[in-house]
A and B are shown apart, each in its own frame.
Chain A
Amino acid sequence: MKALQSPLAKKVLADRQARTQLRQVVSLAAQRGGPEAGEPTILLREGATVRRLTAVVVPKAA
């Protein structure tokens, strides 16, 4: 069964560099107990444009 994965997440995971950055961002945020100002960013290249993304933990559904 397909797990939860948005089209944006699919793009990030399909991009080798962005995927590595996502893993590092998540790993660092976990060590520091959450994202901080000036945290590293995930760079997603879509043609000529570059999107800067960050990963935020979402609380579980109430």
Chain B
Amino acid sequence: MNVALPALVIFLLVLPGFVFRSRFKRAERTALDYAPFGRVVAEAVLWACLLHGLWLLGARIFLGELVRFDLLLGLLSSSPVTQSTAIANVGALAGPVARYFGTLLAASFLVPPLLRALITWRRLDRLGHWLAPVARFHDAPWYYLLTGADFERAELPDLIKVAAIVDVAGQPVLYQGFLEDFYFTPDGALDRLVLQGVGRRPLAGDKSLDAAPGDPAAEERFYPVEGDYFVLRYAEAITLNIQYLRLEEEPAAAEPPAVAAA
């Protein structure tokens, strides 16, 4: 069997980069990565270069070992004699080579989730942070919109109000509720929103109610939707409005009237 050894060596060299990239990115699609091939390869090769640089530096500092570029070039050579000599030399160094690639691949698999958790925890990817151009996960726009990841920790709202217009039997109906969960389709589009405390009202009745300000009927125009959770399919929403809310405690001195429970 003929094996294209140079291709195999190059694959082994860039493999840690591909592993690191796939484990590091936060993307909302799960089935297929539609990122342009050139971008994927460029990112993977860049990560591979960085990882090899770190590992070679570590090998130099902690083990006193230097990279043998002569052996690497020998493996990539088209000359059978040079390649055979390089294979024999690498075979003699099988332990260190296996240790190098073993630890590199293990780190490529284990470190990215930790790095991603650190970025999320320290909010290094939020809009306006000086590290955001590098640390931001550009393939996850809904994540930033619906988890409040763009806010500083001290300014984080308490919850998100969602209002969506849905076409029900040819009539536009406004649904309003508080966001609990959201799900994606395998290709990364928003699939459904899970809401709590939902109310609805047909938009057709707005004009008559607006014409009578102060009318008690106009005060609470939403009909509550009974149930613990309301699932709104994003494909059925004509428009989606997002509002961030903060719950603030009122001072004890103020005694405003409580809204009567429905």
| A residues at B contact (CB < 8 Å) | 1-6, 8-9, 12-13, 16-17, 19-28, 31, 38-43, 51-62
Contact = CB atoms under 8 A, between A and B. Distances in A.
Interface in B212-262: 218-222, 224, 243-250, 252, 254, 256-259, 261-262
Nearest to B159: A9
B202 interface: no
25 contacts: A1-B181, A3-B179, A4-B148, A4-B179, A4-B244, A5-B178, A6-B247, A8-B247, A12-B159, A13-B197, A20-B224, A20-B259, A22-B197, A23-B222, A24-B259, A25-B259, A27-B176, A27-B220, A42-B259, A52-B254, A53-B247, A54-B248, A55-B246, A56-B248, A60-B244
**9 interchain residue pairs of minimum CB distance:** A4-B148, A61-B150, A9-B159, A40-B259, A3-B179, A6-B158, A9-B158, A17-B261, A58-B244
Contacts of B184: 1
A1 B225 CA distance: 23
B44 interface: no
A52 B160 contact: no
Contact of A20 (B157, B197, B248, B256): B197
Given A41-B259, A56-B248, A4 B181 contact: no
Given A4-B179, A13-B197, A41-B250, A24 B220 contact: yes
Interface residues of B, number: 51
A52 B257 CA distance: 10
B222 A2 contact: no
B246 to A, nearest CB: 5
B137 interface: no
Nearest to A25: B259
Contact of A13 (B127, B150, B178, B257): B178
B197 A58 contact: no
Contact of B250 (A6, A20, A54): A54
Interface of B: 126-128, 143, 146-148, 150-152, 155-161, 176-184, 196-197, 199, 218-222, 224, 243-250, 252, 254, 256-259, 261-262
Given A19-B197, A23-B199, A24-B220, A5 B158 contact: yes
Given A19-B196, A42-B259, A58-B157, 17 more contacts: A1-B184, A4-B148, A12-B247, A13-B196, A19-B178, A20-B261, A22-B197, A23-B224, A24-B259, A28-B220, A40-B259, A41-B250, A42-B258, A53-B247, A56-B247, A61-B151, A62-B127
Contacts of A20: 197, 224, 259, 261-262
Contacts, number: 150
Contacts of B249: 51-53
A61 B256 contact: no
Contact of A53 (B221, B222, B243, B250): B250
